[in-house]
Amino acid sequence: MNHKPLPIGIDNFEMLIIRGYYFIDKSLLLKDLLDNKASVNLFTRPIGSKNM
């Protein structure tokens, strides 16, 4: 199975597409967050080297 490379450090959308990196569009997630109008939204991330 041929895997696409991960776009680590890539901040240019055109280069991301040209080089065939993975891209996940989260536009609908942002729309849901804005439409939800919750007083608090919690975003967690992994902590420590075991999760990286």
Domain assignment of residue 3, yes or no: no
Helix (H, G, I), strand (E, B) or coil at 52: coil
* 32 occurs within a structural domain: yes
Domain extent at residue 37: 13-51
Cα–Cα distance measured from residue 45 to residue 8, given in angstroms and rounded to the nearest whole number: 17
Closest of 19, 44, 29, 50 to residue 7, by C-alpha: 19
- Nearest Cα to Cα of residue 23 among 34, 8, 45, 38: 8
DSSP assignment letter at 34? H
Q: Do residues 21 and 6 touch, judged by C-beta distance below 8 A?
A: yes
Q: Kindly report, residue by residue over 1-52, the tens digit of the pLDDT.
A: 778 888 888 889 999 999 989 888 888 988 888 898 888 888 888 776 565 5
- Asked whether residue 7 is assigned to any structural domain, the reply reads no
Q: How many domains does the chain have?
A: 1
Report pTM: 0.46
